[in-house]
Amino acid sequence: MRASKFLKAAGVMFFLAVFACIYAGQANAGAEDGKKVFAGKKCGDCHQTEGTATEKTFADKLKKKGPDLWFAGSKFKKEWLAEWMQNPNPIRPLEYNSIEKTNPGNHPKLAKKESEDATEYLMTLKSKDVQEGVIQEGASNIQGKLAFEKKVSCFACHKYPKLGKPIGGLTGPSLADASKRLKGDWVYAYLKNPKVLIPVKRMPVYEGILNDGEMKGIAQYISTFK
């Protein structure tokens, strides 16, 4: 009886191992195809995919046509990214690098297969400075809410959901659907050490203003935005 159970368990483990290998192989193939899609669509003309950040001045920043993606796998949620590239609704109310021009919403669309493959590729691009598993996403955090709304007033630049509708500023990307789009661990890493990820930016550096608990709290609070 024990031998039979052992054989059954071994069979299950073997099946799972084979499935994992097949899945990993498919993901790797998708990532390679996605890299080709990215190159073929000339996405690299606007987005940097090799880290770390290269800009040192605002003049360098203004030369960029779109946000960096060399940490895309650390920043974005896979399902959202695949869907967004098929229907790229503006995330920023204003045009990239502008504080006055409205975002025209003309980002190129990808077909479903192209989007899925490109997503597989982008998910491989990760930053060593974003530690995974730090933020408990989706859990309410009063300390984070107070820091976000009262202490540093993030909504002055970012839209966020309040009483069922998005409110807030226009100069930063919207956070209205952050729970679907952003990984809480990336938000925390960015607040903690922004110069490593995006060294030249308009967003303030909160070191010395927010303590570590408040930064984690804000990241957790943002992870509840729908």
* Domain CATH code at residue 164: 1.10.760.10
Domain boundary among 122, 156, 180: 122
Nearest alpha-carbon partner for 34 in 91, 75, 89, 73: 73
- Predicted confidence at residue 5, as pLDDT, reads 52
Q: What are phi and psi of 166, to 5 degrees?
A: -75, 130
- Predicted confidence at residue 224, as pLDDT, reads 97
Residues spanned by the domain of 86: 2-122
102 beta partners? 94
In a domain, 60, yes or no: yes
- Predicted confidence at residue 24, as pLDDT, reads 43
Domain boundary among 72, 89, 122: 122
List CB contacts of 142: < 8 A, sequence separation 6 or more.
Answer: 217
CA angle 113, 118, 119 (to 5 degrees): 100
- Predicted confidence at residue 3, as pLDDT, reads 52
Residues 13 and 117 placed together within one structural domain of the fold: yes
Cis, bond preceding 119 (omega within 30 deg of 0) = no
In a domain, 53, yes or no: yes
Residues 155 and 194 placed together within one structural domain of the fold: yes
- Predicted confidence at residue 27, as pLDDT, reads 55
Residues 96 and 152 placed together within one structural domain of the fold: no
- What is the domain count for the chain? 2
In a domain, 130, yes or no: no
In a domain, 136, yes or no: no
What is the DSSP secondary structure assignment for residue 161, as one 8-state letter? E
Residues 118 and 162 placed together within one structural domain of the fold: no
- Predicted confidence at residue 29, as pLDDT, reads 76
Nearest alpha-carbon partner for 152 in 181, 137, 172: 172
Other Cβ atoms within 10 Å of 68 Cβ, number: 21
- Predicted confidence at residue 21, as pLDDT, reads 38
In a domain, 188, yes or no: yes
Residues 97 and 207 placed together within one structural domain of the fold: no
Q: Could you list the pLDDT tens digit for every one of the 226 residues in the chain?
A: 555 554 454 454 444 443 333 344 555 778 999 999 999 999 999 999 998 899 999 999 999 999 999 999 999 999 999 999 999 999 999 999 998 999 999 999 999 999 999 999 999 999 999 999 999 999 989 999 999 999 999 999 999 999 889 999 999 999 999 999 999 999 999 999 999 999 999 999 999 999 999 999 999 999 999 9
In a domain, 75, yes or no: yes
